[in-house]
Amino acid sequence: MDYLIKGVILHWTASSYNLTPNVLKHYNFVIDQFAKVHDGLHPLAHQTPPLNSGKYAAHTRRHNSYQAGIGLLGMHGAKEKPFSYGKYPITAIQFMAAVKLTATICIDHGITVTPQTVLTHAEVQDNLGIKQRGKWDITNLPWNSSIIGATAVGSHYRNLVRVEMDRRLTKPTQSPWAALFSAIAAKFGGKKT
Ligand SMILES: [Zn+2]
Protein backbone atom coordinates (compact mmCIF):
# COMPACT_ATOMS: atom_id res chain seq x y z
CA MET A 1 0.00 0.00 0.00
CA ASP A 2 1.48 3.34 -0.99
CA TYR A 3 -0.89 5.43 1.09
CA LEU A 4 -1.52 5.85 4.77
CA ILE A 5 -4.70 5.59 6.77
CA LYS A 6 -4.35 6.60 10.41
CA GLY A 7 -7.93 6.52 11.62
CA VAL A 8 -11.57 5.72 10.96
CA ILE A 9 -14.54 8.04 11.51
CA LEU A 10 -17.99 6.42 11.68
CA HIS A 11 -21.00 8.44 10.55
CA TRP A 12 -24.58 8.10 9.60
CA THR A 13 -25.48 9.80 6.34
CA ALA A 14 -28.59 11.65 7.60
CA SER A 15 -30.23 10.60 4.34
CA SER A 16 -32.93 8.16 3.32
CA TYR A 17 -32.05 4.60 2.32
CA ASN A 18 -31.43 5.77 -1.27
CA LEU A 19 -27.82 5.32 -2.29
CA THR A 20 -27.35 8.61 -4.12
CA PRO A 21 -24.21 10.02 -5.83
CA ASN A 22 -24.18 12.77 -3.19
CA VAL A 23 -23.95 10.22 -0.37
CA LEU A 24 -21.32 8.17 -2.19
CA LYS A 25 -19.02 11.14 -2.68
CA HIS A 26 -18.86 12.01 1.03
CA TYR A 27 -17.67 8.66 2.40
CA ASN A 28 -15.08 6.11 1.35
CA PHE A 29 -17.62 3.40 2.15
CA VAL A 30 -21.37 3.49 2.58
CA ILE A 31 -23.15 0.62 4.33
CA ASP A 32 -26.83 0.15 3.60
CA GLN A 33 -29.54 -0.97 6.03
CA PHE A 34 -29.09 -4.58 4.92
CA ALA A 35 -25.37 -4.45 5.84
CA LYS A 36 -24.08 -4.38 2.28
CA VAL A 37 -20.88 -2.36 1.92
CA HIS A 38 -20.73 -0.02 -1.10
CA ASP A 39 -17.55 1.66 -2.28
CA GLY A 40 -17.83 5.42 -2.21
CA LEU A 41 -16.68 7.61 -5.08
CA HIS A 42 -13.29 8.10 -3.43
CA PRO A 43 -11.10 5.16 -2.43
CA LEU A 44 -9.03 5.39 0.75
CA ALA A 45 -5.96 6.48 -1.22
CA HIS A 46 -7.75 9.79 -1.94
CA GLN A 47 -7.50 10.75 1.74
CA THR A 48 -3.76 11.34 1.31
CA PRO A 49 -2.93 15.06 1.45
CA PRO A 50 -2.80 17.50 -0.17
CA LEU A 51 -6.58 17.26 -0.28
CA ASN A 52 -8.04 19.20 -3.18
CA SER A 53 -11.71 20.08 -3.24
CA GLY A 54 -13.81 17.41 -4.91
CA LYS A 55 -10.91 14.92 -4.99
CA TYR A 56 -11.45 13.22 -1.62
CA ALA A 57 -14.28 12.08 0.63
CA ALA A 58 -15.14 15.17 2.71
CA HIS A 59 -16.79 13.37 5.64
CA THR A 60 -15.54 15.27 8.69
CA ARG A 61 -14.90 18.99 9.09
CA ARG A 62 -11.12 19.62 9.10
CA HIS A 63 -10.30 15.96 9.73
CA ASN A 64 -10.12 14.07 6.43
CA SER A 65 -6.38 13.70 5.85
CA TYR A 66 -5.44 10.03 6.37
CA GLN A 67 -8.95 9.40 7.75
CA ALA A 68 -11.30 6.75 6.41
CA GLY A 69 -14.96 7.78 6.46
CA ILE A 70 -17.66 5.14 6.80
CA GLY A 71 -21.28 6.23 6.39
CA LEU A 72 -24.24 4.21 7.66
CA LEU A 73 -27.04 4.94 5.22
CA GLY A 74 -30.07 6.42 6.95
CA MET A 75 -31.36 8.65 9.76
CA HIS A 76 -32.97 11.31 7.56
CA GLY A 77 -35.51 13.13 9.71
CA ALA A 78 -34.06 11.84 12.98
CA LYS A 79 -34.25 14.15 16.02
CA GLU A 80 -31.71 14.32 18.81
CA LYS A 81 -33.87 15.44 21.74
CA PRO A 82 -36.14 13.76 22.46
CA PHE A 83 -34.56 11.05 20.36
CA SER A 84 -36.57 9.84 17.43
CA TYR A 85 -34.95 7.89 14.65
CA GLY A 86 -37.40 8.85 11.91
CA LYS A 87 -38.29 6.65 8.96
CA TYR A 88 -34.79 5.45 8.12
CA PRO A 89 -33.18 4.11 11.31
CA ILE A 90 -29.71 2.62 11.17
CA THR A 91 -29.82 -1.11 11.91
CA ALA A 92 -27.88 -3.48 14.14
CA ILE A 93 -26.58 -5.54 11.19
CA GLN A 94 -25.50 -2.35 9.46
CA PHE A 95 -23.54 -1.31 12.55
CA MET A 96 -21.92 -4.76 12.80
CA ALA A 97 -20.89 -4.53 9.14
CA ALA A 98 -19.19 -1.24 10.01
CA VAL A 99 -17.41 -2.95 12.92
CA LYS A 100 -16.07 -5.62 10.55
CA LEU A 101 -15.02 -3.09 7.92
CA THR A 102 -13.30 -0.97 10.58
CA ALA A 103 -11.41 -4.03 11.83
CA THR A 104 -10.25 -4.74 8.27
CA ILE A 105 -9.01 -1.16 7.81
CA CYS A 106 -7.23 -1.21 11.19
CA ILE A 107 -5.51 -4.52 10.46
CA ASP A 108 -4.54 -3.52 6.91
CA HIS A 109 -3.11 -0.17 8.02
CA GLY A 110 -1.69 -1.11 11.42
CA ILE A 111 -4.03 1.20 13.33
CA THR A 112 -4.21 0.78 17.11
CA VAL A 113 -7.79 1.33 18.29
CA THR A 114 -8.03 4.33 20.64
CA PRO A 115 -10.67 7.05 21.18
CA GLN A 116 -8.48 9.29 18.98
CA THR A 117 -8.07 6.88 16.05
CA VAL A 118 -11.36 4.99 15.82
CA LEU A 119 -14.36 7.10 16.71
CA THR A 120 -17.76 8.35 15.70
CA HIS A 121 -18.28 11.79 14.20
CA ALA A 122 -20.06 12.80 17.41
CA GLU A 123 -16.81 12.23 19.36
CA VAL A 124 -14.50 14.21 17.07
CA GLN A 125 -15.00 17.56 18.78
CA ASP A 126 -14.33 16.25 22.33
CA ASN A 127 -11.72 13.60 21.54
CA LEU A 128 -9.71 15.58 18.99
CA GLY A 129 -10.59 19.19 19.77
CA ILE A 130 -11.83 19.94 16.26
CA LYS A 131 -15.09 21.89 16.24
CA GLN A 132 -17.88 20.07 14.35
CA ARG A 133 -20.97 22.31 14.54
CA GLY A 134 -23.38 20.09 16.45
CA LYS A 135 -22.79 16.73 14.79
CA TRP A 136 -24.50 13.94 16.74
CA ASP A 137 -23.77 10.91 14.57
CA ILE A 138 -23.65 8.50 16.35
CA THR A 139 -25.12 9.09 19.81
CA ASN A 140 -28.07 6.71 19.73
CA LEU A 141 -28.53 3.15 18.56
CA PRO A 142 -32.20 2.59 17.59
CA TRP A 143 -32.03 -1.11 18.62
CA ASN A 144 -30.38 -0.54 22.00
CA SER A 145 -31.67 2.29 24.18
CA SER A 146 -29.24 1.45 27.01
CA ILE A 147 -26.25 2.84 25.10
CA ILE A 148 -26.75 6.59 24.85
CA GLY A 149 -24.37 9.44 24.15
CA ALA A 150 -21.26 9.97 22.06
CA THR A 151 -18.83 8.37 24.52
CA ALA A 152 -21.01 5.35 25.28
CA VAL A 153 -21.68 4.58 21.62
CA GLY A 154 -18.04 5.24 20.69
CA SER A 155 -16.75 2.91 23.43
CA HIS A 156 -19.23 0.24 22.35
CA TYR A 157 -18.03 0.58 18.73
CA ARG A 158 -14.33 0.36 19.71
CA ASN A 159 -14.90 -2.65 21.96
CA LEU A 160 -16.62 -4.52 19.14
CA VAL A 161 -13.82 -3.58 16.72
CA ARG A 162 -11.19 -4.85 19.18
CA VAL A 163 -13.05 -8.15 19.65
CA GLU A 164 -13.30 -8.57 15.87
CA MET A 165 -9.59 -7.80 15.41
CA ASP A 166 -8.61 -10.24 18.17
CA ARG A 167 -10.79 -12.91 16.62
CA ARG A 168 -9.07 -12.52 13.26
CA LEU A 169 -5.53 -12.15 14.56
CA THR A 170 -5.67 -15.08 16.98
CA LYS A 171 -4.82 -18.31 15.21
CA PRO A 172 -7.19 -21.14 16.05
CA THR A 173 -5.33 -24.08 17.59
CA GLN A 174 -5.47 -27.11 15.33
CA SER A 175 -7.67 -29.90 16.62
CA PRO A 176 -6.09 -33.38 16.96
CA TRP A 177 -8.63 -34.72 14.45
CA ALA A 178 -7.50 -32.19 11.85
CA ALA A 179 -3.88 -33.17 12.46
CA LEU A 180 -4.74 -36.87 12.06
CA PHE A 181 -6.68 -36.17 8.88
CA SER A 182 -3.77 -34.20 7.41
CA ALA A 183 -1.38 -37.03 8.23
CA ILE A 184 -3.65 -39.59 6.52
CA ALA A 185 -4.21 -37.32 3.56
CA ALA A 186 -0.45 -36.84 3.18
CA LYS A 187 0.17 -40.61 3.32
CA PHE A 188 -2.38 -41.43 0.63
CA GLY A 189 -1.60 -38.52 -1.62
CA GLY A 190 -4.28 -36.24 -0.32
CA LYS A 191 -6.57 -36.77 -3.31
CA LYS A 192 -10.29 -36.82 -2.67
CA THR A 193 -12.68 -38.55 -5.03
ZN1 LIG B 1 -20.94 12.71 10.21
For residue 192, being part of any structural domain is answered with no
Assign residue 181 the CATH number of its domain: 3.40.80.10
Range of the domain at 45: 7-187
Taking the centre of ligand 1 as the mean of its atom positions, its distance from the CA of residue 123, in whole angstroms, is 10
Distances (CA, A) of 166 to 12, 107, 110, 163: 26, 10, 13, 5
Taking the centre of ligand 1 as the mean of its atom positions, its distance from the CA of residue 183, in whole angstroms, is 53
For residue 193, being part of any structural domain is answered with no
- Whole-model pTM? 0.89
For residue 1, being part of any structural domain is answered with no
For residue 88, being part of any structural domain is answered with yes
For residue 2, being part of any structural domain is answered with no
Taking the centre of ligand 1 as the mean of its atom positions, its distance from the CA of residue 163, in whole angstroms, is 24
Taking the centre of ligand 1 as the mean of its atom positions, its distance from the CA of residue 11, in whole angstroms, is 4
Residue 70 exposure: Cα atoms within 13 Å on the Cβ side? 29
Q: Structural domain tally of the chain? A: 1
> In this predicted model, what pLDDT tens digit does every residue of 86-143 receive, in sequence order?
999 999 999 999 999 999 999 999 999 999 999 999 999 999 999 999 999 999 999 9
Taking the centre of ligand 1 as the mean of its atom positions, its distance from the CA of residue 109, in whole angstroms, is 22
Taking the centre of ligand 1 as the mean of its atom positions, its distance from the CA of residue 12, in whole angstroms, is 6
Q: Which of 126-130, 148-152, 168-172, 175-179 has the lowest mean pLDDT?
A: 175-179
Taking the centre of ligand 1 as the mean of its atom positions, its distance from the CA of residue 27, in whole angstroms, is 9
The separation between CA 51 and the C-alpha centre of its own chain, rounded to angstroms, equals 22
For residue 31, being part of any structural domain is answered with yes
Q: What is the pLDDT of residue 105?
A: 98
> In this predicted model, what pLDDT tens digit does every residue of 53-95 receive, in sequence order?
999 999 999 999 999 999 999 999 999 999 999 999 999 999 9
